[in-house]
Amino acid sequence: MDKKQKLQKEIRSSILPKLWQQVSQETISPSLTKTVQAMRVIWSQCDDFIFNNLTIENETEPQIAACWLNSIINPKQLQAIVFRTAANEYKKYGSLQALMNNSTGAYRAVSTYQDASKAVAEGQAVLFFEQESQALSVNVANFPKTAFLPPENELTVDDPHISFINNLALNMGAIRSHIHSPNLKFEQLSLGTVAHTNVAMIYLEGIIEQTLVDEMRRRLNSYQLEGVIGINYIKEVISDNGYSPFPLLDVTERPDRVATVVLQGRIAVMVDGSSMALIAPTIFINMLNSIEDYYSSYASVIFIRILRHLMYWISMLLPSIYIVLLSYHPDLLPTPLLLSIQSQHVGIPFPIIMEVMGMAVVFESIREAGIRLPKAVGQSVSIVGALVIGDAAIQAGLVSPGAVITVAFAGIASFTIPSYTLAYTNRILQFGFMFMASIYGFYGLIMGGLALVAHLVSLKSFGVPYMSPVAPFHRQRFRYAFYRPPWGKVNTSHECVSETPTSQLAKINSLIGK
């Protein structure tokens, strides 16, 4: 690395963040033009941030500038208080101090850009005045809550019970209700050669790596289809490996989970008209963690996370292990257990592989039927249907009780996986392992396992190894796969430090002679 590159790295990592902090703490400039420019820089890449200039009667230049977040304000209050009352009262009294002395307490004075930005993030409208070194904030907040319904797929015992809806503006407001900061960016793009659907990138500047934002923007801009009807249209296009059965991008329906991942330095993508959000990058271990882990006690989370990892592999491998033990290696079973299982197979007309695979197909068919049926009857039909068909098959002598128990337990184990897409992948791989086990026995299981591991370690999600922190191994991060420390002992520092905004990088590069 040469001297110029070292200087650039030093500016990005240390000098520029300090300058930004100093600017945000500066007193508001009496020049309205400079104030507007400063606020636009602070709230850059936030497409729900609105500025509006107000011109007082008999004046040719704007004398008042109002700014707010369009996703979390009440338009009627904004029109009544800001555009009518505040402007008229300022014209009436002639100065900000006189207005404050005669106001009824509806206004609050702010003197720094940091205080003004905090007020905007909390759902207030801020008014800046020409030749005034202070601003007024007016509470017009309207964080969307009543329009949201409880989540259907990512259920939790504890609060909050809110999921996204099919409105991008309201979804943005739901996320802002968790994070009141100008660093929370909503960068909107228009995708689709015909439909021109609005798509928003959500990230937290100061924590996320700017290279991740640039890569996400590049992949989204490469979208060439006619429109974006659902979130999966984007998911397959921007994924690192569209042919892998494993989900390389996570999906969520919860605003609190999106707020959590952006605080971790990741990025989310939402589509107008969709009630789901994509999360990138995604690693395998995170797919086995639930948002419930953050609302439960840290001691119970250890047990639950270990249980989920165990159930994941049981749901995939248990039927094939059952086939291997009875078809190729019955000597590995204890004699009483072997005699009990063998006696159950007396009179069964089908080999073990057909018996287990047949029950697995029936189980998956019942589960799929339960999803498609109306909610009022779907769950009852699934449970009752599985019990009735399993009992009838045993009574008819078509399958053994051991096969029914094995397939049913593997199916129940798959329900413990928080990610539906990862559980669906398990259901597909389950049949592949059963096929390998029926032909090659334990050798087939080993070959299938090695092929699976080789595929997993080759995957990446936006440049991040899919199996990290296992491969490559990172000791400190690995323990958090199973352990969530108490909140009082969490290290709040992030390794992902954001780069400098592109416009500022251009200025800095020109100064150092790039």
In this prediction the pTM is 0.77
Checking if the pLDDT of 17 tops 60, the result is: no
Q: What is the pLDDT of residues 160-173, one digit of tens each?
A: 778 888 888 888 88
| Average confidence (pLDDT) over 291-317 | 86
Task: Answer whether residue 263 shows pLDDT above 80.
Answer: yes
Strands, E, within 183-303: which ranges?
A: 184-191, 197-204, 250-252, 267-271, 277-280
Task: Please give the mean pLDDT across all residues of the chain.
Answer: 79
Question: What would the 3-class secondary structure string for 384-401 be?
Answer: HHHHHHHHHHHHCCCCCH
Report yes or no: 323 and 434 within 8 Å, Cβ to Cβ: yes
Given this model, what pLDDT does residue 79 score?
Answer: 78
CB distance 68 to 125 below 8 Å:
yes
Report the distance separating Cα 205 and Cα 198, nearest Å. 21
Q: Which residue has the higher pLDDT, 52 or 495?
A: 52
Distance CA 109, CA 96 (A): 9
Distance of alpha carbon 53 from alpha carbon 216, whole angstroms:
33
Say yes or no to pLDDT of 454 above 90. Answer: yes
User: CA–CA separation, 87 vs 57, rounded Å?
Assistant: 10
- What pLDDT is recorded for position 59? 60
The predicted structure's pLDDT at residue 392:
80
> What pLDDT is stored for residue 382 in this prediction?
64
Average pLDDT over residues 283-312: 86
Q: Does pLDDT of 317 surpass 60?
A: yes
Closest by CA position to 186, among listed 82, 117, 258 = 258
* Residues 290, 271 contacting (CB under 8 angstroms): no
For 84-101, how does the pLDDT look when each residue is reduced to its tens digit (9 = 90+)?
667 677 777 777 777 777
Q: How far is CA 100 from CA 26, 86, 97, 110, 215, in A?
A: 22, 11, 5, 12, 48
Check whether 334 has a pLDDT greater than 90: no
pLDDT over 70 (residue 500): no
Do strands 49-54 and 64-69 pair parallel, antiparallel, or not at all (unpaired)?
A: antiparallel
Region 227-243: mean pLDDT is 85
Residue 322's pLDDT is what? 92
Instruction: Tell whether the model's pLDDT for residue 267 goes beyond 90.
Output: yes
Residue of higher predicted confidence among 125 and 55: 125
Q: Is 132 helix (H, G, I), strand (E, B) or coil?
A: coil
Q: What is the pLDDT of residue 319?
A: 93
Euclidean distance between CA atoms 74 and 123, whole angstroms: 9
